[in-house]
Amino acid sequence: MKIAIYPGSFDPITSGHLNIIRRASKIFDRLIVCVMVNATKQPMFTREERVEMIRSVVSDLPNVEVDASDELLAEYAKRKGGCVILKGLRAGSDFENEFQMALINRKINPKLDTMFLTAESQYMYLSSSTVKELGNYDVDLSDFLPDQIIPVFKQRIAVIRQGG
Ligand code: ADP
């Protein structure tokens, strides 16, 4: 059984992430989307909220499960029996970082391979942080966020604006 782990912050999940998940779900027998907790980042959504948001958009994909972890990714993958880490590769800057992380993960866990799916061209420049920037303006988000995520995201922006 080919298991892949797709790690990320998913704060929030974007259409670019979902595109990678849909494509990968056809390649692997089982795909675990894992919300990784990054202590250096102050997230917009709690890890439980992020897990729920991802679940709401992958419910039609039976071989995709959603989890969260604050473990080291290489350790998490070992515990889950995952042999492949899946990453999405966007334009430019992703490469250096991801290449370095892939090598480090393999050093820690030599059985661990990292595979990359190139971003779809319309999502090449899309990131959660870009969407958070756009959230401050009155922009149509339907090209950037899955339909189910837009109202949740807008509501959170409104709460933040009110100082909550
Ligand atoms: P970000 O906060 O930069 O959007 P995450 O840490 O949540 O990203 O990303 C998780 C994974 O998804 C990473 O492998 C990242 O390269 C990939 N990814 C993020 N956005 C996209 C996109 N628009 N298209 C393809 N892959 C993406």
What DSSP string runs through 101-145? HHHHHHHHSTT-EEEEEEPPGGGTT--HHHHHHHTTS----TTTS
**Structure confidence at residue 162 (pLDDT):** 85
Cβ atoms within 10 A of the Cβ of 42, count?
A: 7
> Quick check: CB of 131 below 6 Å from ligand 1?
no
Q: What is the pTM for the complete model shown?
A: 0.94
Mean pLDDT of 113-120: 96
The residue extents of the domains of the chain are 3-161
Q: How far is CA 99 from the centre of its chain?
A: 17
Whether 100 and 20 have beta carbons less than 8 Å apart is answered as no
Tell me the one-letter amino acid at 14: T
pLDDT band with cut points at 50, 70 and 90 for residue 50: very high
Mean pLDDT of 110-139: 93
For the record, the structure tokens of 1 come out as 């059984």
Q: Whose CA is nearest to atom 2 of ligand 1?
A: 128
Mean pLDDT of 33-43: 89
For the record, the structure tokens of 20 come out as 């990678």
How many whole angstroms separate alpha carbon 141 and alpha carbon 100?
A: 32
**Structure confidence at residue 152 (pLDDT):** 97
Mean pLDDT of 10-20: 98
> Quick check: CB of 8 below 6 Å from ligand 1?
yes
pLDDT of 164 higher than 70: no
> Quick check: CB of 94 below 6 Å from ligand 1?
yes
Tens of pLDDT, residues 75-109: 999 999 877 999 999 977 788 889 999 999 999 99
CATH number of the 3-161 domain: 3.40.50.620
Mean pLDDT of 8-32: 97
Reduce the DSSP state of residue 28 to 3 states and report it.
coil
How many residues in total does the chain contain?
Answer: 164
pLDDT of 49 higher than 90: yes
Mean pLDDT of 132-144: 93
**Structure confidence at residue 1 (pLDDT):** 87
